[in-house]
Amino acid sequence: MKYVDEYREPALARRLLDEIAACAARTGGTPQRPLQIMEVCGGHTHSIFRYGLKDLIPRTIEFVHGPGCPVCVLPMGRVDDSLTIARQPHVIFTTFGDAMRVPGSTGSLLSERAEGADVRMVYSPLDALQIARDNPDREVVFFALGFETTMPSTALTVLQAGRECIDNFSLFCNHITIVPTLKAILDSPGAGIDGFLGPGHVAMVIGAEPFEFIAARYARPLVITGFEPTDILEGLLMLLRQIETGTARVKNQYTRVVNPAGNTPALEAITRVFELREFFEWRGLGSIDHSGIRLRFDYARFDAERRFSVPGAPIADPKSCQCGEVLKGAIKPFECKVFGQACTPQTPLGALMVSSEGACSAYYLFARRDDQVQQVRA
Ligand code: SF4
């Protein structure tokens, strides 16, 4: 398949791995203190495990799994709020499929549907808008979720609803933005990240400039990277070359998709419809300033939080959950006490086990060669 097969080419992967091994030997990482490379995006985490890249790189390099899976960082309180809205008898609650199984304190959207709520899976916010057109006597709510990658489609849907004066459509807005979260991780005590594989999909929308602070203020290199195996290996090599020479720049490996200036029409739609919230709660990471967005006043009539009364209460994760430590890279998923026992993809306690992009789910499904994972799963 064009644009896929050439990025899975074994000979190219072998060549990149040889160069990585040679470069890594000159960077000072050791098996005892490996270089810590954070892949920001859950899509990277999934590819690293699916293609076994973790086991192919030298033991002097370690992938640390970042917070870039929007489903994984959705806090329990927001899930509970979504259940409150979905329970209203006149509501059709629409959502992407992976959000349906995220546990709140009293259940999930999937269990709510089993109890009789009208919860429907959609592939796009435009599908939700069509359901609103088809059901003028019902309130249709879209569970808006994701980083800058999915914000433009939500913004364009709101603009379309405004043009058509569709007044039975609203958003439960949980869109989040990655940059303040990277700042929070770099500011957290003991943050030992040596370099970042930057999120290719987010950068496709926002460009490279918003990541410059990582090089300028924190002296860490970041390489915006694609999602195929040779993309990730080439992004890693570009990072190692910077670490070897003591430089810290933002570079772009994903040039076939990412324009350094971003996507101007998408950014304009986002800016027109949304504004930053003062703070937003992240599962496992707590409240992070300016990390979430909400509808601007001009579009407030599409805001489900204004139409429906929701508890809006912060709910702590169950004590046994260590999602926060995994998200900050402090522990590996298999070090969580409930990994593979009480918490599995079939019975997720934490959101990192729900989404296919979640680090715990990736370890559970693909980390076949990790002895500790094997022991837990045995
Ligand atoms: S195993 Fe489950 S509870 Fe533990 S960190 Fe992973 S998702 Fe969270």
59 belongs to a structural domain: yes
Facing residues of 293 across strands? 276
Q: Which of 35-39, 71-75, 77-81, 169-173 has the lowest mean pLDDT?
A: 71-75
* Mean local confidence (pLDDT), 147-170: 97
The burial class, CB within 10 Å (0-12 / 13-18 / 19+), for 364 is buried
Question: What's the pLDDT score for residue 373?
Answer: 47
64-111 pLDDT tens trace:
988 888 888 888 999 999 999 999 999 999 999 989 999 898 899 999
Q: Which of 65, 317, 320, 321 to mutate to test the pocket of ligand 1 (most atoms within 8 A of CB)?
A: 321
Long-range CB pairs of 274-278 (<8 Å, 24+ gap) are 274/151, 274/155, 274/173, 274/175, 276/177
At residue 376 the predicted structure's pLDDT band, cuts being 50, 70 and 90, is very low
What is the whole-number distance in angstroms between the Cα of residue 92 and the centre of ligand 1? 30
Please, is 240 exposed, middle or buried when counting C-beta atoms within 10 Å of its C-beta (0-12, 13-18, 19+)? buried
For residue 194, being part of any structural domain is answered with yes
Pick 361 or 377 by higher pLDDT. 361
Domain of residue 59 covers 1-366
- Reduce the DSSP state of residue 350 to 3 states and report it: coil
Question: Is 117 among the domain residues?
Answer: yes
Distance 360 CA to ligand 1 centre (A): 6
Which of 71, 341, 352, 373 should be mutated for ligand 1, with most atoms under 8 A from CB? 352
Residue 139 lies in a domain: yes
Mind listing the pLDDT tens digit for each residue in 299-332? 999 999 999 999 888 888 888 889 888 887 788 8
Which residues 6+ apart lie within 8 Å of 9 measured at CB?
230
Task: Using alpha carbons, select from 221, 191, 254 the residue that is nearest to residue 44.
Answer: 254
As for ligand 1, residues whose beta carbon falls within 6 Å of it are 321-323, 326, 333, 336, 338-339, 343, 349-350, 352-353, 360
**Residue 101 forms part of a structural domain:** yes
Residue 210 to residue 45: CA distance in whole angstroms:
22
Instruction: Judge whether 74 lies within some domain.
Output: yes
CATH value at residue 334: 3.40.50.11740
Nearest to 204 by CA among 149, 258, 255, 251: 258
- 10 Å Cβ neighbour count for 363? 27
This prediction has a pTM of 0.91
Q: According to the model, what pLDDT value does residue 370 have? A: 53
In a domain, 378, yes or no: no
261-267: average pLDDT: 97
Pocket test for ligand 1, best of 69, 79, 323 (most atoms within 8 A of CB): 323
Mean pLDDT of 127-138: 98
Is the model's pLDDT at 372 over the cut of 80?
no
Distance, CA 340 to ligand 1 centroid (Å)?
A: 9
- Structural domains of the chain, count: 1
Q: What is the whole-number distance in angstroms between the Cα of residue 223 and the centre of ligand 1?
A: 28
Atom of ligand 1 nearest to the CA of 320: 3
Q: Which atom of ligand 1 is nearest to the CA of 360?
A: 6
Map 84-102 to HEC letters: HHHCCCCEEEEECHHHCCC
